Structure formats: structure tokens, C-alpha cells
Amino acid sequence: MAFVSGLPYEVEVKVWTSIFVSTASFCPPARRKRRHWHVLDSRHGLVLFYTPKTRHDFLVCDLVTCKRWWINASPKCKDIMSADLDDHDEDENRTWNAMMFCAKEGCGHLDCHGLPFQVVFVGSYDKEGIILASVYSSETGEWSGTNSIAQPETIDKRGHSALVGNNVYFPCEERNRIVNYDMAEQELSVIDAPSEYQSDIVLMGAEDGMLLFTTVQNSKLCLLSMEAGPNRAEGWARSRVIELKPLLPLRALREDISVVGFAEGVGVIFLRTVAGLFKIELTAGRSKKVHEGTSFDKVMPYTRFYTGERGAAPIEKLHAHLFGATTV
Ligand SMILES: [Zn+2]
């Protein structure tokens, strides 16, 4: 298994940099540092970047085959996006985030091949109290019209999104609020995560068809799953508590620990600590230091089953790769 992550690379000038780190023997070609590439999402063998210094707004990339698809934002969303994501130029009134997924019908997502995919954009004018959503399809090469809802929320620009069925979820800055876009009904709503852990709770993704939230409190990693039903009858299904003391060095436990990444389907959590970045394998109860960096904001695991030239390799020869990236 491998992962990559992005570092606070040039702190003085607040440059977002994505870097790629592999812990597997196979190293994908796209493993260099990329300044001004903001990693937004990774799913189904693809990574979505926001690339404001290029001629295009977004880049969808297969890191193994190096296939790339450049996308321009919907003209209706350009205004929201004009707020730079870099720290020194933030406009809290206009916030946005985006995610992507394989849109191939009937695909089991074990060996996706890039096309077709969709990108979901969600943006907010907080002061005006409007949230809007638009979906890009690689098949049409176009964005859908926008759907909107009157609701004042600030979208967490660096948050992790989640996909459950036809629903996508984006966290708000107010951590227990989640923007939900139902792609089938083309309907936006804002749901509450239960406030058991108050503002420390963070949406990390989806697991077994449920939203997964995490928090670290008193050297304990808490995982909480939430059912987000069609009737908005959300409820906690289960929670797990993992004691971090046996898994982390003493130094790491002395200061704040943040969950910065989650690899869906393989049960791996990434923790930022003052002693470096750690990977926790939830099922095996193992931990491993994977990077010396101590200021990762976001680790975006990347998983791709590499099957060789024509996908004919036997399953035991497949490799899984996880990559992450951080922003300053
Ligand atoms: Zn797929």
C-alpha cells in the first residue's frame, strides 16, 4: 500500500503544494511536487485538482496511467471561485468545494478506467444566504444548470467530501453542518451531524454506505457512522473508539492530534501529530509513521488497482496506491 501527501511547502508565501508519496514498490509517474495544485478529492482511481495558475480551473488525473482531463468551471460558478483558496486572500463570503466520482454504469469501482466521470461543485454566498450546486459530466463535456437553496453556510474549502448512492456531502465550516446534494432529485439541503462531539467532529468520507465522522479526544480516536436516509431521518448507527496510546509515540500524544485523511474501503486513517504523519490501520490495529511533516492540512489517499497494460494481470499482481496531499 502506498500513499502520498502534500506539504506546507513554502510557508512564507502560502503556496499550496500537492506532493505525491508512494509507500508501495510501484511508483506512479505523477509523483512530483506540484505547486498551486490544490487537491480537492480522490476517488475511483482518479484525483481532482483545482489548478488556478493554469489555463483551466480543474484537472482530473489518473496518477498511474497519467491520463489527464482539463475542465473549466461553469460560468455560473466562476464568481464564487474568484475567491482565491490561498490563506492570504480568503473571502469568507464566497466558499466552495468540489468532488468527483466514476460515472460508469454498473461499475464496481475496483478497476475504474477514468472515463466517464462526473464532478460535483458546491458553492456558497454566505452573506446572501445562497448555496448552489452544479455537476460536470465527462460524457457531455458540460456543466449542468445550477440548483440552489436559500441557506447561509460557509463551506469548508478543505473538507473531505463523501459519496453515498446518489448523494454527495460537503462539510461546512461549522463542523456539525453538512451540505447534501441529491443528484437524482437535483435537490440541495443542509443536515446536522449529531452534536455528541460538538465542533470537533469532522466528516472524513463514507464507509459501508454511511457517513463517517472522526474526532480525537483525550488520546482516543473516535469514529462515528451516520445514516443519511432519504427521509432525512439521520441517526448514528455505531461508533468505535480506538485508544491511540499504544499506537503513537509519547511525543505525538503530547500535543493536538488531527485526523487529516481517510482511505475508504481499506480502513486507513491518517493522523497529523507534532511527531509527524501517522497511518493507522483500523482493522489490524497497526500504526506507521509515513512522513516527517507536521503541518499537513489534508491527506488525500489515492487508491488504484494496477492491472498492467490491458487489465489482464491476475488479481494477486494488483497494487493499491494511496496518495495524499496537503495545503498550506
Ligand atoms: Zn468505476
- 44, 304 Cβ separation under 8 angstroms: no
pTM: predicted TM-score of the whole model, two decimal places: 0.87
Query: pLDDT tens digit string along 208-218?
Result: 889 999 989 88
Cα 70 to ligand 1 centroid, rounded to whole Å:
19
Task: Parse the chain into domains and list their residue ranges.
Answer: 11-317
Q: Which of 51, 37, 120, 64 is nearest to 326 (CA)?
A: 37
Q: Compute, in angstroms, the gap from residue 261 CA to the centroid of ligand 1.
A: 21
Residue 136, pLDDT score: 97
15 CA to centre of ligand 1 in angstroms: 33
**How far does residue 117's CA lie from ligand 1's centre (Å)?**
8
Q: Tell me, what's the pLDDT at 141?
A: 96
Q: What is the pLDDT of residue 317?
A: 40
Ion ligand 1: residues, CB within 5 A, are 44, 102, 104, 107, 109, 112
Which segments of the chain have a pLDDT < 70? 1-16, 19, 22-32, 83-92, 175, 194-199, 229-238, 305-328
User: How far, in Å, from the CA of 118 to the mean position of ligand 1?
Assistant: 11
CATH architecture of 11-317: 6 Propeller (2.120)
Cα of 43 vs centre of ligand 1, distance in Å, is 9
CB atoms within 10 A of CB 229: 11
